[in-house]
Structure 1
C-alpha cells in the first residue's frame, strides 16, 4: 500500500469531535443481516476499483443487500477518513491500511471484530498484529504485502553470480559484481530519501534484528542492531552502488528492463508489471528471499477490513467481510488483483500452492514483521525517513542520525 503523510493539524482539530462521535455508535443492535439494506464501503487505490465487481457478485447471492463501494485514492485517504470519523460518517466497512488502524482504533472509530468468527490462527501473524491495537482486534486481514529481492538472472551469469544472494554480505558482493563484470550502472536500487523511505529500509532493519518500536510501543530506533542496519544501507550510496537522487514517481522496472538496475526489493504486484510490460524479459529475472543478516526478515504490509463503530449495519457488514476473508473469497481476490491472501488456507491449492515464485512470497510472509499499531506511527516513521536520508546523502553518521530520530520519537510519545 501507499500512504500519504499524516496531516497532524487535521488530527488535532478533530480529536475532540471524534471523542464525541466515534465512540457512541457501537451499542445498538442495528439492522438485522437479513433485512433489506445498503452497505457502504470505502476501499483504496486499485482495490477500490476492483471491489465493485466483487460486490456485484455478492449481491446476486444476497438479494437483500446493496453494496455501495466508493474508491478512495491513497493520496487523500487519511484526510477523508479523519473528516468522516469526526462527523460520525464513516462507511459501514472501511479498508484500513496498516499504518492507519491504530490511529482510528484509538479514536474509538472502529468496532472490535468478533474473534469467534474471525480466528487469529487463520491469518499470517503479522497481518493479525497489524489489525490489532490495545489488546483488541479491530480489523480482519484482507490481503498481505511484503518485499522480496528481484534480480536479473541473465546479467547474474555475466557477473559470475551463480545463485541469489543468501546473506547481506552476498548482496553487496553481488551489487559490486553486477557493476564490475556485467556493466550495470547501479548494483541495487533502494530508496535514498523522501516519504516512506523506511519501507525500503525495513528488510535491512528487521534482518539485522532491529525495529522502530518494541511490541509495547517503546522506541528503539537507535539500537546497535538498527545502527548496523543503517550503516549497511548507507554503504550502497557511499560506494556508488545505489543512486543518491531518485526522481518522484520513479519506476524501477524500466531500469530493471534496460539493465541499468539489476536488483531491487519489490512487492508482489511487480511480477505482473514485468510480465505485462516487458514480455521480452521473461526468463531473465527471478525473485529470492531477503538476504539474511541475523535472519531473513522482510516488512509486512497490506490492509484489513474494519467496521465503523457508528454503523447501523454491523451484522450485514460482518457477513460481507466474512465473504471476502474466507478461503474462496481470498482466492478469488488474488485472481482479480494479484494481492496476496491473508488467509493462510488460501495458499493450499491452485496456483498459490504450486507456483515456485509464490512459495517464496509465502515463506517470506511467515517471518515478516510490522511495527505495533500506534496512533502516531506515521509521525514516528517520518523521523526515520529523515534519518535515512541524512545518511544516504552523506550528511550524518548512522548513529547520530538515529539518535536524533530516537529523541524526536520519544518526544512524540510523552
Structure 2
C-alpha cells in the first residue's frame, strides 16, 4: 500500500464537494437492510470486446500484472488501463462522465465516493455477482444507497495503534486498551526516552477531522441521524474533541510536528513513539530505518483504545464501479467479479501490499503470517463508513480546523462542536 494512501488517495477528496458536477438523489444509507441490485445476473461465459478501466495511480499500478490470469481466460477481451495521478483523478473522472466520455469501469475510494452513488452515474451491482457478507461490512456499506449497491470493495485499510515495542518494554507498559490509559501510555514511552509519546499528522485538515469523527464513534456518537441530519454538536463529539486535545495539552504530542512526511523518520529516530495510522506503515519502516529487520525488533501494533462505546475505527481503501453508460457492461462486471475474488486480492497484496477487502483472503499465509497486521484485521472488523454524503469532506476539513484551536487552547471543545454543527448545517448534505 502506498505511503500516500492517506495524503494521496484521500488528498484528492478535499475539493470534490466544491466541484458540483453531480447532484445526488438521497445520499445516505437507509438502515442495515441488505443491498439489492436491479441488473441481470452475470454469467460465466468468456468476456469479449474492449474494456476501458480508469484508476488512480498507486495500488492500481500493478493491475495489468494481477489480472494476467483473467486476460488469459478471456483472450477475446482487450483491457485498456488509464492510470491518473491521485490529485487529478476524481476531477478528471467527473469531467469525463459529465461529457459522456467516461470509462467502462472506474476505481473509487469508499471513504469519498458518495457523489458517484447514483443510478445516473453507476450501474447497480448485479444480483449474485459477489457475496456482500464476504467483505468487511463497513466497506460494503460505503457503496450502498437506499439498499442498492453501486460499488464492490477491492482493497482495505483502517487505523490502528503502531508503537515502539522496545520503548514500551523498557517502560514496562502494555498497549492501552481504553481512553483513560492512552496519555499515561504516551508519557511512559517518553519516560523511556521518546521525545514525544505520540506523533500526530498536524495538517489540521480533513484527516484530523476524520480522526475526531472516529473518536466520536468510540464515545457513542454518530455523525448523521437516521433522518440524514448532522449530529455533531453532541456530548459524544465534545468528548471526542477533548480526548484528542488531551494528547497535546498533556505534552504527549506536539501541535507543530511531525507533519505527514516526517511521521516515519520521527518514529524511527525516537522523536515520537506512537502513530495512529494505517497498515502501509508496517512495510515501510525498515526503509525509513535503513535496516532490514528493524521493524520486527522495534515495533508492535494494537487495536485503537476503546471509548465509552468501544474501539471503533473507519474503513477506507479502494472499490470498483461500472459506469451507467458503459458500452461493455458484461465484461465490466466480469472484471469486477474477478478483482473481488480472494485469490485475486491476495495476488494484489503480493504485488503492492494492498490489504484485501475480502475477509477470507486474510487467511492466506502471505498475510496471516505477519503478526503486525493482526491488529488491523481486528480493527477492520469493527469499523464504520464515513457519511455517504457529498459534503462530508468539507465538514471533516472544518472539524480539523476546529480541532487545532482546541488543541492549542484557544477554543473549548463545546464551542468547536457548536461551530462544526453550524457549518455542517450551512453546507447541508448535498441530498435532493
- What TM-score do the two structures reach when normalised by structure 2? 0.86
8 Å contact kept, 2:205–2:398: no
What is aligned with 2:342?
327
What are structure 2's unaligned runs of at least 5 residues?
A: 26-37
Over aligned residue pairs, what C-alpha RMSD do you find? 2.5
8 Å contact kept, 2:183–2:246: no
Query: How many residues end up aligned between the 2 structures?
Result: 401
What is aligned with 2:305?
291
What is aligned with 2:82?
70
Q: Residue 6 of structure 1 is aligned with which of 2, 15, 40?
A: 15
What is aligned with 1:183?
193
1:236-279 deviations in Å (ceiling 9; x for gaps): 11222111124654231111110111001111111110134433
What is aligned with 1:385?
400
TM-superposed CA distance for 1:204, in Å, is: 2.4
TM-superposed CA distance for 1:135, in Å, is: 2.3
- Output the CA distance in 2 between the equivalents of 1:405 and 1:344: 35
8 Å contact kept, 1:133–1:374: no
What is aligned with 1:211?
222
Q: How does 1:8-87 map to 2 (within 5 A)?
A: 8-11=17-20, 14-15=21-22, 34=46, 36-87=48-99
8 Å contact kept, 1:289–1:296: yes
1:7-60 deviations in Å (ceiling 9; x for gaps): 45532xx448x99xxxxxx9999xx97464221111113122121222444322
What is aligned with 1:307?
322
What is aligned with 1:373?
388
- Output the CA distance in 2 between the equivalents of 1:386 and 1:169: 25
Does residue 1:353 correspond to 2:368, yes or no?
yes
- Output the CA distance in 2 between the equivalents of 1:35 and 1:321: 12
- Output the CA distance in 2 between the equivalents of 1:122 and 1:239: 42
Distance change (3 Å), C-alpha of 1:67 and 1:147: same
8 Å contact kept, 2:17–2:393: no
What are structure 1's unaligned runs of at least 5 residues?
A: 20-25
Deviates more, 1:271-280 or 1:226-235: 271-280
1:44-101 deviations in Å (ceiling 9; x for gaps): 1312212122244432221111111111222112211211121122211111112432
- What TM-score do the two structures reach when normalised by structure 1? 0.90
What is aligned with 2:410?
395
Distance change (3 Å), C-alpha of 1:204 and 1:50: same
